[in-house]
Amino acid sequence: MMKGPQYAVLQKIRDGKKTYGITPRISGGFIKPDQLIHMAEVAKKYKGVIKITSGQRIAILGLEAEDVDKAWKDLGMEPGVLSAYSVKNVEMCPASFCKRSKQNSLKLGMRIEKRFYGAPTPNRTKIGVVGCRNSCTSAYAKDIAVIGDIEGYRVTVGGSAGFHPRLPDMIDEKLSEDEAYHMVEAVYEYYTKEAEMGEKLGHFIDKISFEKFKEDVMKIFQEKIKE
């Protein structure tokens, strides 16, 4: 069975014709004007359609199979998603620019994005980082969420708005920026080590119980903050 072009998603087949979509990596949803113009030029060159995605990225849809590699080369950008079994994206609110923000979470969000971009996981994993409890980007619906508050950061786990919706569990609160970062690391390490392939984080938590999940993650977290 022949595989389709790399880092491209097969779209709906119409009249036997296959077209593909590609989605470059745009860290935190922030893109420079010149880069945005360049993306539009590439899309126009290959007769693609631009779509703003729910994951704070820009997809180019409607590409012919033979144009996918050419478009990637012209873009000169990394793919947004490296694997279906990886951290899919880190979504962030514009905390530095928002009057409601309680923490300048953009710095932390970019740090987390850099660390976990494409990191392998048992199933697709989304992370949200926001500056206040209004939780723009629907952070509570992410597998891991870091949420700014007056007294620091809270971290929730297991949220999902997908096929099987799930409310998140709060694993800790009143964390400093460094503590929140290490908590995300601890959650990630425990999940990737203990969960079965194909198991979403929320399903894994439900299987072993949140109490056990939190107890084991906190042990990893305590070791990290000692380092």
Q: Identify the burial level of 121 via C-beta atoms within 10 angstroms of its C-beta, where 0-12 means exposed, 13-18 middle and 19 or more buried.
A: buried
Report the alpha-carbon distance of residue 57 to residue 98 in Å, rounded.
Answer: 20
- Tokens 């297991």 map to which residue? 158
Please state the rounded mean pLDDT for residues 72-98.
Answer: 94
Instruction: Give one word for 54, left, alpha or beta, with left for phi > 0 and alpha for psi -120 to 50.
Output: alpha
Report the alpha-carbon distance of residue 99 to residue 18 in Å, rounded.
Answer: 46
Q: Identify the burial level of 76 via C-beta atoms within 10 angstroms of its C-beta, where 0-12 means exposed, 13-18 middle and 19 or more buried.
A: exposed
Which of 3.40.250.10, 3.90.480.10, 3.30.450.40, 3.30.9.100 would CATH assign to domain 9-75? 3.90.480.10
Q: Examine the pLDDT at 207 and tell me if it is beyond 90.
A: yes
Report the alpha-carbon distance of residue 90 to residue 100 in Å, rounded.
Answer: 21
pLDDT digits (tens, 9 = 90+) for 25-44: 999 999 999 999 999 999 99
Give the confidence band of 6 by pLDDT, cuts at 50, 70, 90. Answer: confident
Say if CB 144 and CB 125 are below 8 A apart: yes
The token pair that represents 56 in the structure block: 């704070």
Alpha carbons within 13 angstroms on the beta-carbon side of residue 59 total 18
Q: Examine the pLDDT at 81 and tell me if it is beyond 80.
A: yes
The domain spans of the chain are 9-75, 87-226
Instruction: Give one word for 118, left, alpha or beta, with left for phi > 0 and alpha for psi -120 to 50.
Output: left
Provide CATH code, domain 87-226.
Answer: 3.30.413.10
Q: Examine the pLDDT at 48 and tell me if it is beyond 60.
A: yes
Report the alpha-carbon distance of residue 163 to residue 105 in Å, rounded.
Answer: 29
In the chain, count H helices and then E strands.
Answer: 6, 9
Q: Examine the pLDDT at 2 and tell me if it is beyond 50.
A: no
pTM over 0.95: no
